[in-house]
Amino acid sequence: MGDGKPATIYDVAARAGVSKSLVSLVLQRSPRVSDQRREAVLKAIQELDYRPSTAAVSLAGTRSRTVGVVLDDFRNQWFVDLLTGLRESLQDQGHRLVVADRFLNTGLDASPVEGFLSMRVEGIVIAGEPDTDLAIPASMPLVIAGGRVSIPRADTVANDDRAGGGMAAEHLLDLGHTRLGFVGARSAASAERRAGFEAAASGRASVCVTVLPEEPTEDAGSRGLRALLDEHPDVTAVFAANDVMALGAMSELAERGLRVPEDVSVIGYDDTPVAATRYVGLTSIDDRSVEIGRGAGERLLARIADPTVAATEVLVEPRLVARRTTAPR
């Protein structure tokens, strides 16, 4: 605009010679608008550099084409690939992602779901383990991505953590290790990975376990391995519940003067970008989080289209990515 003020929907309507309601229909990608009028509106939007308000478009129409995503923690790199998969599956249908960390505003006593509801999102994806305190309305299409704590009315798309734990054990057993360690934390995924690890090693190797009652952080991995080695110093290979904990375990080994993998092999889980760096080269179980995100988006679209469909659980098969932190005993 010449006066420096941002263009409004009324300015666009005036420039295109149409009504405000027709501009709203174009913004909603309605098929009820003729090609000639659609082109006139889009040309006016470009000329005026108009930036529509998502909330305003939502209120003007019947659909917001917006999906809310609740993350456990923005600092966890696992969510990066998950969001990539979600975006890929939803953008073709014109849906936008609105992302919130459920712990970010706990000091303000605010729930991310309340904000999503005010934006009239069409569905919600919980990335991680669901929290009953989120109070999501029963009518809201809901998908759990990555978490193994199910909600009866929600679809679940997750990595097969138990199978992944078994892969970690098989890899270490194939390398000749018979004194294995597991370092975990408080989470359903950690418990599943431990169960698969112990089941695969049963009768073929001894497994020493340390599980801390806290989040799976780098510091938890360091302290967990410290406790494990204090009691079982003959362990020659360690499986950590995720890559972050594996990095903490490696730092503890370095402080003890133990080399990776010459003295102790280390394997993580999630195959995060840090694990793949040449400096770290961490052997890890790829949980295929892009596929999890893509599957969660597809399930959410199906649930939005038909909220009455029965809830399903989809498990994505993991795969081992061997790097330089594991070696023969």
The pLDDT tens digits of the residues spanning 41-78 come to 999 988 888 876 655 555 555 567 788 888 876 667 77
Rounded Cα–Cα distance for residues 157 and 299 (Å): 8
For tokens 């659909």, what's the residue?
A: 63
Mean pLDDT estimate for the chain:
87
Rounded Cα–Cα distance for residues 194 and 162 (Å): 7
- Dihedral, CA of residue 133, residue 80, residue 286 and residue 290, to nearest 10: 90
Q: DSSP class of residue 112?
A: H
In this structure, what token pair is assigned to residue 263? 């003295």
Closest CA relative to residue 54, chosen from 119, 141, 113, 114? 119
pLDDT higher at 203 or 310: 203
Helices and strands of the chain, counted as H and E runs: 12, 12
Residue 160 is predicted with a pLDDT of 96
Dihedrals φ, ψ of 303, to 5°? -75, -35
Residue 31 burial by CB count (10 A; 0-12/13-18/19+): exposed, middle or buried?
A: exposed
Position 231 confidence tier, pLDDT thresholds 50, 70, 90 = very high
Residue 313 pairs in a beta bridge with: 156
Residue 108 is predicted with a pLDDT of 47
Residue 134 is predicted with a pLDDT of 66
> CA 322, 327, 329 angle in degrees (round to 5)?
145
Mean pLDDT computed over 237-251: 97
Q: Is the pLDDT of residue 262 over 90?
A: yes
In this structure, what token pair is assigned to residue 99? 């992302």
Residue 226 is predicted with a pLDDT of 97
The pLDDT tens digits of the residues spanning 4-29 come to 678 888 889 999 999 988 888 887 77
Closest CA relative to residue 221, chosen from 167, 159, 279, 275? 275
What is the phi-psi region of residue 49: left when phi exceeds 0, alpha when psi lies from -120 to 50, beta otherwise? left
The pLDDT tens digits of the residues spanning 303-315 come to 888 888 888 899 9
CB 185 within 8 A of CB 216: yes
Strand segments (E) across 102-185: 123-128, 142-146, 155-159, 179-184
